Structure 1
Amino acid sequence: MTAWLISAFLLFPLRSIQPKRPTALVTIPEKASTDNPLKTSVDLLVEEAAQHFMATPQSVGLSIGIIKDGQPYVYNYGTVEKGRQQLPTSQTVYPIASITKTFTGALLAQAVVEKKVKLGDDIRKYLTGNYSNLTYEGQSIRLFHLINHRSGLPFLLPDRPDAFANTAIPSSTIAAELLQGYTRDDFYADLHKVKLDTMPGYTFRYSNTGAQLLGYILERVYNMPFDELVRLKITQPLAMSHTKIELTSSDQATFAKGYNCNGVEMPPIPDQLQGAAALKSTVTDMLKYIQWNVAEETEAAKLTHQPTSGDVSRYSSGLNWQMLNVAGNRAIWQDGNIPGFSSLCVNYPELNMGIVVLSNECDRMSASRVTTLTNQIAKAIDDRAVVLPN
């Protein structure tokens, strides 16, 4: 299975939507409430795609951000909480799940630019104790392997593949339960038990463990907590004041509630996932992040988009970004799915365009639906936009 078939934070099997046969009585869903002004061509094309997305019964709320040629557009639909009918806003806070990994990749790139590390460093250089188990046939895991999913490390620590055998429960929900009360000491104890069964750098294997470990390593390199590193190196320079792991009381007041496909509110995810999936953000903040990526004006931004594996002329992986190149136009994206929330961020540097979608509902089809929505909007704005795989 190629890498782009993997749903971002926690794997959900992707299945095609089969149309239902018409019945004698057809219920036409009401349009979702929105702040879309319906004045420009962009407004109108977003309205069509978003209302189609919201027509799915399990949909709750939706925030869409677009930046094209430096012009930002923000649209909100639905509600931040079932039963309240309160529209999301540009300042509504959502977990961004695996999009967090791209921030971790950006921090690694910055550390390389500052000559604090090298992408090809053996990770054991930054670990305390004997980790001879983190080699295979004499080949060690390199720093960039931790963020392009070719480290050979397991999907999650604790490594409990048996816990994911029940396919009726989303893997993200199972993972959240496994992580309750799981400490950093537990993580390192389990890391000592890992046995690699493949050469690092060759086989794609989606790993939250790798990104989490990279976050811990960067903390050691800078002698600074991960959340503070994100603030100092990324969010403060980009004026992204609402992007963080630990939320203040004012942040909590604007935090959307997340729901599963049955409308059940999901509990918060454990923050110890840290560099793998713990950041929260707003659509406005994410547009600033997109602009930084689209512009590619800094060495760190450029480095995060440099392929570390795959076919440069088609599909490749950067520092956690997935990348497609079609006729010289690139789509650089990452999605994220955790209990109650689905998200996607995509950059089109050659088109000077980017899109972010944040939703407070997550089921086994959410990743596919968010991707479809994003593709519809991107192609309608600029037909040169590369279609993301679904």
Structure 2
Amino acid sequence: MPAQDPGADIEAVAQTLIEQPLLHSASIGVVHRGQTFIRHRGAMQSGKPGAPTDATLYEIGSLSKTLAGTLVANAVLEGKLGLDDDVRTYLQGDYPNLQYQGAPIRIRHLLTHTSGLPNMLPERANTILADFTDHRTPAELNALYAGYGKADFLSDLHAVRIPRAPGKEYAYSSAGSQLTAHILERVYGRDYEALQRAFFNTAAGMTGVTITLGDADASRLAVGYHSDNPVPTTPMPELPWGASGNVKATVPDMVKYLQFQLANGPVVKESHRALARFDDESSIGYFWNIVAGDPLTGTYYAHHGGVPRSQCYIYIMPKHDLGIFVITNQSGEQTAHAMEAAIDTLVERIGARNRR
């Protein structure tokens, strides 16, 4: 029925987004009751015509973690690993530091950000990111990660100190998701990117999702802006494995991801299972933030992604058979707030339509 078509609402929300200070362009992908909608608005480069397209490759930042979580859920269902396994089972060498007073870091602690690992390795990255909006931050990150590989990460992992018993306290850790990717490589005996590509191509038809870009694809990577700097900035540097924040995808591929999530097959169902509860409304699954208690939205699954020149959100709302992906090619203090407001408006309008 036309009254149920949210296309006009999506266009209005996209237009509102690009009218925000500093936001040049936005792309939105929505799946609602089996229908798919994609809208691109604005100009990729300030002052130059040219909106993003379905071919534009975006950096989806920490949404990458939900793909890693899905792969772990699949591994659990295949009996390849267990949530309560000590992570050191899958590490070569001795890591007596990856425990606290005899309590080891387990797989579930990596997935729920309760391991006690730092946000980033090397530790210097955390100092740089503490002043995220400083114009020097992208270049400093690039310099830090130039030539920083898997062996460097594992070497730095030896020096980590776990400050409390794992499983007790939430502390966001991209290092934990990097370690998760290493464990998946050990379990399957395959490169993480190859594992990711094969699974999501087969399970969700996501043919263009990638971590490393070939020369042919580099020209399709979205231009982006950091903070209030009017000059386009560089892509997020490549991290070891890339599972914490290096995935690139088109909006059509992310729409396929929304469809895959809403279909709620066995792997998705497992990945959405709460592994740690923080209060009546907040829990976390396989890297998925789970929010309950709102009668309008019902229980939903969400994640934010951010790199120095892009921010995005994904929301999965089974109550409304609704999936939303929003991305913009700017990353600053107010970007996430602007996108949250846009998504709230969209959900309210779609929720109102569903009640008619």
Do these two structures clear the TM 0.5 threshold for a shared fold by scoring above it?
yes
State which drifts further: 273-282 or 305-314: 305-314
Query: Pairwise mapping of residues 13-162 of structure 1 onto structure 2 (< 5 A)?
Result: 42-160=6-124, 161-162=126-127
Deviation, structure 1 residue 216: 1.1
Task: Please give the secondary structure, in 1, of the residue aligned with 2:290.
Answer: strand
Cα contact 1:172–1:338 (8 A) shared by 2: no
Q: Which residue of structure 1 lines up, in the alignment, with residue 178 of structure 2?
A: 212
State which drifts further: 76-85 or 132-141: 76-85
Deviation, structure 1 residue 263: 2.1
The alignment yields a C-alpha RMSD, in angstroms, of 2.3
Task: Give deviations 1:358-383, integer Å, cap 9, x for gaps.
Answer: 11111111111111111111211114
State which drifts further: 322-331 or 138-147: 322-331
Cα contact 2:262–2:322 (8 A) shared by 1: yes
Of the candidates 252, 261, 268, which is equivalent to residue 301 of structure 1?
268
Of the candidates 311, 317, 331, which is equivalent to residue 284 of structure 2?
317
Deviation, structure 1 residue 384: 9.5
State which drifts further: 253-262 or 321-330: 321-330
Task: Please give the secondary structure, in 2, of the residue aligned with 1:270.
Answer: coil
Runs of 4+ in 1 over 6 A off after TM superposition: none
The letter of the residue matching 2:270 is: L
Tell whether 2:255 aligns with 1:287: yes
The separation in 2 between residues aligned to 1:255 and 1:164, in whole angstroms, is: 23
Cα contact 1:153–1:209 (8 A) shared by 2: yes
Task: Please give the secondary structure, in 2, of the residue aligned with 1:194.
Answer: coil
Tell whether 2:162 aligns with 1:199: no
Distance 1:214-1:381 versus aligned 2 partners, 3 A rule: same
Of the candidates 202, 207, 222, which is equivalent to residue 188 of structure 2?
222
Q: Structure 1: where are the runs of 5+ without partners?
A: 1-38, 386-390
The separation in 1 between residues aligned to 2:55 and 2:287, in whole angstroms, is: 26
TM (norm. structure 1) is 0.84
Deviation, structure 1 residue 162: 4.0
Deviation, structure 1 residue 275: 0.9
Distance 1:167-1:311 versus aligned 2 partners, 3 A rule: closer
Distance 1:265-1:256 versus aligned 2 partners, 3 A rule: same
Distance 1:321-1:215 versus aligned 2 partners, 3 A rule: same
Deviation, structure 1 residue 256: 1.1
Distance 1:84-1:171 versus aligned 2 partners, 3 A rule: closer
Identity over aligned residues, as a percent? 32
Cα contact 2:54–2:251 (8 A) shared by 1: yes
Cα contact 2:98–2:162 (8 A) shared by 1: yes
The separation in 2 between residues aligned to 1:232 and 1:164, in whole angstroms, is: 32
The letter of the residue matching 1:348 is: M
Cα contact 2:57–2:250 (8 A) shared by 1: yes
Q: Which residue of structure 1 lines up, in the alignment, with residue 343 of structure 2?
A: 374
Q: Structure 2: where are the runs of 5+ without partners?
A: none
Of the candidates 299, 302, 307, which is equivalent to residue 338 of structure 1?
307
Q: Which residue of structure 2 lines up, in the alignment, with residue 347 of structure 1?
A: 316
The letter of the residue matching 2:168 is: Y
The separation in 1 between residues aligned to 2:274 and 2:307, in whole angstroms, is: 27
State which drifts further: 104-113 or 45-54: 45-54
Task: Please give the secondary structure, in 1, of the residue aligned with 2:326.
Answer: strand
Cα contact 1:97–1:277 (8 A) shared by 2: yes
Distance 1:167-1:362 versus aligned 2 partners, 3 A rule: closer
Q: May I ask how many residue pairs the two structures share in their alignment?
A: 347
